[in-house]
Amino acid sequence: MDGTLDNDIRAVVDADRAHVWHHLTQHKPFETGDPRIIIEGKGMRVWDQNGKEYLDAVSGGVWTVNVGYGRAQIADAVRDQLMKLCYFAQSAGSIPGSIFAQKLIEKMPGMSRVYYTNSGSEANEKAFKMIRQIAHKKYGGTKHKILYRDRDYHGGTLAAMSAGGQDERNMQYGPFAPGFVRVPHCLEYRKEELGLGHLSGREFGIAAANLIEEVILREGPDTIGGLCLEPVTAGGGVITPPEGYWERVQEICKQYNILLHIDEVVCGIGRTGSQWFGYQHYGIKPDFVTMAKGVASGYAAIAICVTTEEVFEMFKSDPSDKLDHFRDISTFGGCVAGPAAALENMKIIEDEGLLENCTAMGARLMGNLRALMEKHAVIGDVRGIGLFQGAELVKDRTTKEPVDEKDMAAVVAACGAAGLIIGASNRSIPGRNNVLCFSPALIVTADDIDFITNTVDAALTKVFG
Ligand code: PLP
């Protein structure tokens, strides 16, 4: 670790404590003790202000640094681009913006147009706005409602929160935007909550999708314009779709003429292994795909809303109608550092075979977590795809009562003390965030995976015996 900051570290800690408002964080831990300041990262590892090394099993905390830390190739490309042109509004084109759009669309058969923006929340809001405008252009404004799912998350801006399926994040921030309607989740492990306890496998998957149809029929199909879903729910507890679910969801969208918006903010760009996007595992043909985190692995801010040519065509301007086109602007959607970084990020994934590594290491992680489940009764379920996995902790495998929040925190803290950073879920019911989350960078090795699960093993023993 580079020691240059060491002399000033006390001032940094003091400045942080005095002036920084950290996200999703209670104030108390920052008033007492030292806040954690991450100083440096290399490969899979980061170092804090005390020089303590951690293996980062959550890619920058929130599924972001897909290609790992310290990539000179990306930093150089960003620097070169900034020196050539740092910024120009997206009303004009740019070299990296155009080339990356082409490369991205090559990975997304059936999709066609790339709209650049700034964050996952904004990318989702772009899709919501497009769906709303289509409702006005084609259906006189009636088909304007957007369906979202319990336990899914689409961002922290108010309209994205209006489509937020995690109540714990939404409480005290209402009222929300009208026209967003919740549909039930599809987690088979919690199927009793859905009244589908008697079904399993494909039958369960189809029945879970049919719950969406029930909402559509209740609301009126001609009021529903879009359905926004994560292909695999991330922060809501790593929920992989049951068999038959996506097939039936797509039939329903077709039948009721509902546009399908897939939120790939977490799953996108290799996280799920073997495919570039989560939706590609399930034969989904989306109308909108939004992405952010792994697109440039956090080396620059970039988010994207991708649409089909059919959607784009609906906005083709009639010169006599000044309201006809997509009347949206994103200042930093014009930042060229984002696509410059994204191009190199994609190249690294290709050159180093990281989609394949993600699949192989994901299988090892899943195998190790299943072995832990044999040993620790507190693990009620293990699920995930690629390097995107979760272990649900319960007090009792029969009742499935979630472990206490303090015990979840103790597991995360015990891992931290042993040099491992892991995550925990955000459920829709406060007090029930009981899924440990694992999403290491796609460069992770077999030894790293074993370190992750051995450390979790020790932490579970420490907390639960
Ligand atoms: N969509 C999903 C699935 C997410 O997990 C997140 C953030 O965690 C977002 C959207 C919002 O992205 P951002 O924080 O970049 O606005």
- 230-255 pLDDT, tens digit each: 999 999 999 999 999 999 999 999 99
Q: Residue 44's pLDDT is what?
A: 98
**CA angle centred on 284, ends 280 and 285, rounded to 5°:** 110
pLDDT band at 316 (very low <50, low <70, confident <90, very high): confident
Q: Do 277 and 319 belong together in one domain? A: yes
Nearest CA to ligand 1 atom 1: 154
**Pocket of ligand 1 contains residue 234 by CB under 6 Å:** yes
Residue 305 has pLDDT above 60, yes or no: yes
pLDDT for 427 = 64
- pLDDT bin (cut points 50, 70, 90) of residue 203 is very high
Highest mean pLDDT among 6-10, 34-38, 386-390, 400-404: 386-390
Closest residue to atom 10 of ligand 1, CA basis? 154
Q: Is 62 in the pocket of ligand 1 (CB under 6 A)?
A: yes
- Fill in the amino acid letter for 43: G
The minimum-distance atom of ligand 1 relative to the CA of 230 is 3
* Structure-model confidence comparison of residues 121 and 32, the more confident one: 121
Q: Are residues 375 and 330 in the same domain?
A: no
Is 126 within the bounds of a domain?
yes
Give the CATH number for residue 279. 3.40.640.10
**Does residue 381 have its Cβ closer than 6 Å to ligand 1?**
no
- On whether both 386 and 248 belong to a single domain, the answer is no
pLDDT at site 23: 87
- How many Å lie between the centroid of ligand 1 and the Cα of residue 249? 22
Whole-number pLDDT of residue 3: 46
Q: What integer is the mean pLDDT of 402-406?
A: 92
Measured in Å, residue 153 CA sits from the centre of ligand 1 at: 7
Residues 180 and 318 in one domain: yes
> Is this complex's ipTM strictly greater than 0.95?
yes
Based on the structure, what is the number of domains in the chain? 2
Asked if residue 9 is part of any domain, the answer here is no
* Cβ of 191 below 6 Å from ligand 1: no
Is the shortest distance between the CB of 153 and ligand 1 below 6 Å? yes
pLDDT band at 425 (very low <50, low <70, confident <90, very high): confident
Domain contains 16? no
Q: 87 has which bridge partners?
A: 335
Question: Do residues 160 and 202 both lie within one domain?
Answer: yes
Residue 443 is assigned to a structural domain of this protein: yes
- Ligand 1 atom at shortest distance from the alpha carbon of 124: 10
Residue that is last in its domain, among 333, 351, 369: 351
Are 418 and 320 part of one and the same domain? no
- Residues 205, 320, single domain; the answer is yes
Q: Are strands 420-421 and 53-56 parallel, antiparallel or unpaired?
A: parallel
From 293, 295, 427, 437, the mutation candidate for ligand 1 (largest count of ligand atoms within 8 A of CB) is 293
Q: What is the pLDDT of residue 430?
A: 65
CATH number at residue 447: 3.90.1150.10
Residue predicted with more confidence, 26 or 385: 385
Condensed to tens digits (0 to 9), the pLDDT of residues 130-160 reads 999 999 999 999 999 999 999 999 999 999 9
pLDDT score recorded for residue 73: 98
Confidence of residue 1 (pLDDT cuts 50, 70, 90): very low
Which domain covers residue 48, as residue numbers? 36-67+353-464
Q: What is the mean pLDDT of the chain?
A: 94
Over residues 28-48, mean pLDDT: 86
% of the chain beyond a pLDDT of 90: 86
Cβ of 235 below 6 Å from ligand 1: yes
- Residue 297 covered by a domain: yes
4 in any annotated domain: no
CA distances from 317 to 140, 323, 395 (A): 18, 8, 58
Q: Which of 304, 321, 351 is the last residue of a domain?
A: 351
- State residue 232's pLDDT score: 98
Task: Specify the range with the lowest mean pLDDT, choosing from 231-240, 297-306, 421-430.
Answer: 421-430
State whether 364 and 279 are in the same domain: no
CB of 119 sitting under 6 A from ligand 1 = yes
Using pLDDT thresholds of 50, 70 and 90, give the confidence band for residue 264.
Answer: very high
Q: Determine how many CB atoms are found less than 10 A away from the CB of residue 236.
A: 25
Of the residues 328, 351, 374, the one at which a domain ends: 351
Residue nearest to atom 7 of ligand 1 (CA): 155
Q: Quick one: which atom of ligand 1 is closest to the CA of 119? A: 15
Are 336 and 384 found together in one domain? no
In a domain, 90, yes or no: yes
Quote the pLDDT of residue 318: 78
Indicate if 129 and 266 belong to the same structural domain. Answer: yes
Same domain? For 205 and 319 the reply is yes
Residue 120 in contact with ligand 1 by CB distance below 6 A: yes
pLDDT at 431: 60
Residue 6 inside a domain? The answer is no
Q: How many C-beta atoms lie closer than 10 Å to residue 431's C-beta?
A: 10
Shared domain check, 112 and 40? no
